[in-house]
Structure 1
Amino acid sequence: MCGRYTLLADELEILNEFNLEKPIDSYQPSYNIAPGQNVLAIIHDGKEKRAGYLRWGLVPSWAKDEKIGYKMINARSETAHEKPSFKHLMSRKRCLIVADSFYEWKKTDQEKQPKRIELTDRKLFAFAGLWDKWVDEDKELFTCTILTKDANEFMQDIHHRMPIILPENKEDEWITPHKQHPKEAHEFLQTLRADEFKAYDVQSYVNKAKNNDENCIAPLA
């Protein structure tokens, strides 16, 4: 799964990396992005790519209670094209969720050791995501979820699941707004080759979502 990540790049780096023309409103880097927070995402509105904020934790348009979002921070890519919560989103509401590393906790005999995981060959990347709009009377929410898959060889030593990170040359294809059958989107994800990772142990300081400073990414002494 993916339950915590970072985005430390400055705004200009993000605009250049994802070929965005318009500035990002209220952009703030973060050492410890957690479920329930607003996260930077990129969609294609049919005319251009746009970056903005979505709340992490999907609230489907048909949900009766927005609290369901806390249970839907991730979606299994193997079955998302079949599940009512995600099926129609796979065909028309795909997004990029911008990050530069993520955290995962490796189980040991005594504890769970947090690790920071980065790509070896590029700094910024995008998780494959889905988004939706939820309306209840006068309240409106735009929310998202991160798609996951079985861990690759590197990640298996840390956790049995991992977020889907899109290859750089596949990012625009993922958010292209043309209608696509959910199964086609599913098959697209299954063909992706994962980038190479590197990881290091960090302090348990990162375990608390309220902690958000450079100590989160400091290597464990």
Structure 2
Amino acid sequence: MCGRYVMAKAIGDLVAEAEAEADENLQLRHSWNIAPTTDVPIVLERVIDGVVHRQVHVARWGLVPGWAKDLSVGVRAFNARSETVAEKPTFRSALKKRRAAVPVEGYYEWKKEGGTKRPFFVHRPAGELIFFAGLYEWWKDADDSWILSTSILTMTSPPEGELGVLGQLATLHDRLPIPMDRAMMADWLNPEAEDVAGMLDRLRGEAYAVAAQWMMHEVDSAVGNVRNDSPTLIEPHNSQLF
């Protein structure tokens, strides 16, 4: 799963890596400890006057479907299981037409060992962005204001015994946020794509190859408190790297 992550890049860097455009007034909150219900950047594509535009927007992390009575639905919808997303009322409408990419610099996962949990930071070697497959939705509040929200898709983690970082990811959690390469992201974001079931199969089929390029290291337990938010959170806690 993905319940805490890092996104602290400048808007210009995000736009360049995502090959997207953004409103000149768009502001991003830099954070090294993002938790659900926080406002986060997402990448999506829209057809405007017959032309597809890839754009960066800010969304609330925790998807709120249009039929929801209040925002509380999103508290439990920050992740969506890819195996059942097409069947769940919360996600199935967004899956058809409102697919997104959620950019992260890395994410945290906790390894359970007996009665303790050790936090690890998972990231790309040179600090490049990871783009997770996601969904987005619009919801109107009581004041007729529109709120954009998002969710990250997950899948089964690699089997234990895999070589390299995949084997280490298997020991962290039984769920993995689904990463995409450039080609997969282009297909996933396409609002006119119709073979959604096929794309879900491709997402899962290609995810391990993308994740195999990652690395991870243990970090300090301070990351467990969402009020702690600084670059020191991603510094190695010991010398053990994977």
| Same fold at TM > 0.5 | yes
Corresponding position: 1:212 with 2:229: yes
Matched residue, 2:14: 14
* CA distance in structure 1 between the aligned counterparts of 2:54 and 2:223, rounded to whole angstroms: 32
- Partner secondary structure for residue 191 of structure 1: helix
Structure 1: unaligned runs, 5 residues or longer: none
Q: Using a 3 Å threshold, how does the CA distance of structure 1 residues 75 and 89 change in structure 2: closer, same or farther?
A: same
- Partner secondary structure for residue 206 of structure 2: coil
Higher relative contact order (CA 8 A, sep 6+): 1
Which among 175, 178, 186 is matched to residue 161 of structure 1? 175
Alignment of 1:139-178 (within 5 A): 139-152=145-158, 153=162, 154=166, 155-178=169-192
Please list the CA deviations of residues 57-100 of structure 1 after superposition, one character each: whole Å capped at 9, or x if unmatched: 11111112211111111000011112222112111000011111
Q: Using a 3 Å threshold, how does the CA distance of structure 1 residues 177 and 24 change in structure 2: closer, same or farther?
A: farther
Matched residue, 2:88: 83
Matched residue, 1:60: 65
Residue identity in the other structure for 2:149: T
Q: Using a 3 Å threshold, how does the CA distance of structure 1 residues 176 and 36 change in structure 2: closer, same or farther?
A: same
Alignment of 1:6-155 (within 5 A): 6-22=6-22, 23=24, 25-46=26-47, 47-120=52-125, 123-138=128-143, 139-152=145-158, 153=162, 154=166, 155=169
- CA shift, 1:184, in A, is 3.3
* CA distance in structure 1 between the aligned counterparts of 2:197 and 2:87, rounded to whole angstroms: 8
Residue identity in the other structure for 2:222: Y
- Partner secondary structure for residue 45 of structure 1: strand
Residue identity in the other structure for 2:118: Q
1:107–1:113 CA contact under 8 A, matched in 2 = yes
Q: Using a 3 Å threshold, how does the CA distance of structure 1 residues 170 and 101 change in structure 2: closer, same or farther?
A: same
> 4+ residue stretches of structure 1 with deviation over 4 A?
none
1:106–1:115 CA contact under 8 A, matched in 2 = yes
* CA distance in structure 1 between the aligned counterparts of 2:177 and 2:195, rounded to whole angstroms: 22
1:43–1:96 CA contact under 8 A, matched in 2 = yes
- CA shift, 1:38, in A, is 0.4
Sequence identity, in percent?
30
Q: Using a 3 Å threshold, how does the CA distance of structure 1 residues 21 and 66 change in structure 2: closer, same or farther?
A: closer
- Partner secondary structure for residue 9 of structure 2: coil
- Partner secondary structure for residue 147 of structure 1: strand
1:2–1:104 CA contact under 8 A, matched in 2 = yes
Residue identity in the other structure for 1:42: V
- CA shift, 1:182, in A, is 4.0
2:219–2:237 CA contact under 8 A, matched in 1 = yes
Q: Using a 3 Å threshold, how does the CA distance of structure 1 residues 62 and 209 change in structure 2: closer, same or farther?
A: same
* CA distance in structure 1 between the aligned counterparts of 2:196 and 2:15, rounded to whole angstroms: 29
Structure 2: unaligned runs, 5 residues or longer: none
* CA distance in structure 2 between the aligned counterparts of 1:63 and 1:219, rounded to whole angstroms: 41
